Chain A
Amino acid sequence: MLKSGPSSGELGGSAPVAAARAGLEVANAQIFYDSHVEAVRDISFAVPPGQIVCLLGSNGAGKSTTLKAISGILFPEKGMLVSGSITYDGRRIDRVEADEVVRGGVVLVPEGRRLFINLTVEENLLVGGISRSAADRRAQLERVYDQFPELPEHRHRISGYLSGGQQQMVAIGRALMSNPTLLMLDEPSLGLAPKIVDSIFEAIVQLRSNDMSVLLVEQNAHLALSVADFGYVMERGRIVFDGSANDLMESPEIQEFYLGMNASKQRKSLRHVKHYKRRKRWLS
């Protein structure tokens, strides 16, 4: 049987006195697009400090929508958090502007990388550090170059001409430029060769520290669970499973429908989702 979700205290292990670092808490979030498309129904989850938490689920489950809501960039797509709350380190961030979320330490590497493709690698990185002072930005730039040793030689190249793997490094590096305490990644493995994906995931694991937690959205469940501490599975706007990465890895349902899945199994998982929702409901 799967364990129920963590409270940040339970998993963080540290004393609840350190209230300044409560991590990310999403509570009963419901998200609509265009006033009538319910993309996220009622989800609650937490990313405690220093942890890698993954959010799994097939296409259209609502993962990207959830990340956009946290980042505060739903409005250009007419999306809205209609109920529930998002807090980071105890502070509500669901009613503040996107730039304030970044200054608060939460940053998103968007799906498909989305580099500023006409800008050079270094310019992309500098823009990522715009919320910081010029001196901090320079120092952070060197740290990012240390983290991704492949990048310095390309610093003056137009980023649009880099390979997919290099672009993903720039995208992650650009996010790191704001010196975040929570790094959110939306499908970082998408469209990359397995070898490159491995190196990207190695970098992600190295990034995790006491000061930095990671919220990882992936369709590739095996990959994500292999680096994560805790996982949630979303289907059709709801969380249908959650548990420690090990528990999820061993759960028969997850094994059947999310691990080593092929195209037909993926479809099957969607058809059977109602069945799962009856069996396991998160906060009903």
Chain B
Amino acid sequence: MSYFWTLLIYGVLVGALYGLVAIAFALIYKVSRVINFAQGEMMMLVAYIAYSIALVTDGNLYIQIATIIAASVVIGAIIERVIVRPMLGRSTFSIVMLTIALAVFVRAFVGLFWDTDSHRYPIAVGGEMVSIFGVTFLVSQLVLLAIFFATCIGLWAFLKYTIAGIAMRATASDPAVTMLMGISVKRLYSIAWVISAVISGMAGVLYANIYHVGPSIGSIGTRAFPAAILGGLDSVLGAGIGGIIIGVVENLAGGYIGSGYKEIAGFVVVLIVLMFRPYGLFGERQIERV
């Protein structure tokens, strides 16, 4: 396989990870106009919890999956209940500030409760290598890709066909009126936070599985945020695609220009796109009222 294609394919794999986290950003933003700057830290927390459970359960896959979902749901629900809900009706800016504080808190908590070193992730599956078209993958990398696509399709169907999903899009369009329809905005917010926590939690564990468990997981949030902007913050699928684009661009830049350019390449692409499309590639432009 040529150098270019190898870079591209690995870029897609990294991008799928960014994409998942970007989707988590976009979902919360879509319903509440809040940017959750603790998204990366939430995924780190889930990864650490899953890691500890994996240590004592010999990496049993089913216990892992149950842990990831349970921990994410609890973390998402608690954060929504404790930090977001009391702030309803305040400016979204103050909620965003709180998520930044939360990020700092979670990082400190993880450092104290676990440590600040990197560890190999002790799960019993996913470490095998497979070779497809001459490119070698970890099985868990393929699992990541599958989960990415499943999440995109699942969320798309959720937003399009379920009443809760339609209500979320309605809230994004006119939150004051959704209340008039008998929608409990609080419930929608907590659904959004829980789904986001599960998605980013999965991403955190997948990252840990492919690379390692460590505080660097939290910084995936910072890398994925431009992906969400690129796709259009209020477009859930767009955020996923934005993730893939950033992953590919980073990897190509790293491979052809130099590793030092890897991290800024994504931001440069975002800047260029925003110059032409201020709402991002797939962001919804408001229709003028008739």
Residues of A within 8 A of B (CB): 71-73, 75-76, 97-99, 101-103, 107-108, 110, 112, 114-119, 123-124, 126-128, 130-131, 134, 137, 158, 160-164, 167, 174, 178
Contacts and interface: CB of A to CB of B under 8 A. Distances in A.
B58 interface: no
B180 to A, nearest CB: 5
Contacts of B128: none
B290 A107 contact: no
Interface residues on B, range: 20 to 34
Given A117-B173, A127-B178, 5 more contacts: A114-B177, A115-B174, A126-B166, A131-B182, A137-B163
Contact of B181 (A112, A158, A162, A174): A174
B49 interface: no
B33 interface: no
B174 A116 contact: yes
Contacts of B290: 160-164, 167
B180 A117 contact: no
A133 to B, nearest CB: 10
A99 to B, nearest CB: 5
A107 B178 CA distance: 12
Nearest to B175: A76
B179 interface: yes
Given A127-B170, A137-B163, A118 B180 contact: no
A99 B288 CA distance: 28
A102 B182 contact: yes
B284 interface: yes
B182 A130 contact: yes
Nearest to A100: B182
Interface in B152-176: 163, 166-167, 169-170, 172-174, 176
B181 A73 contact: no
A124 B288 CA distance: 17
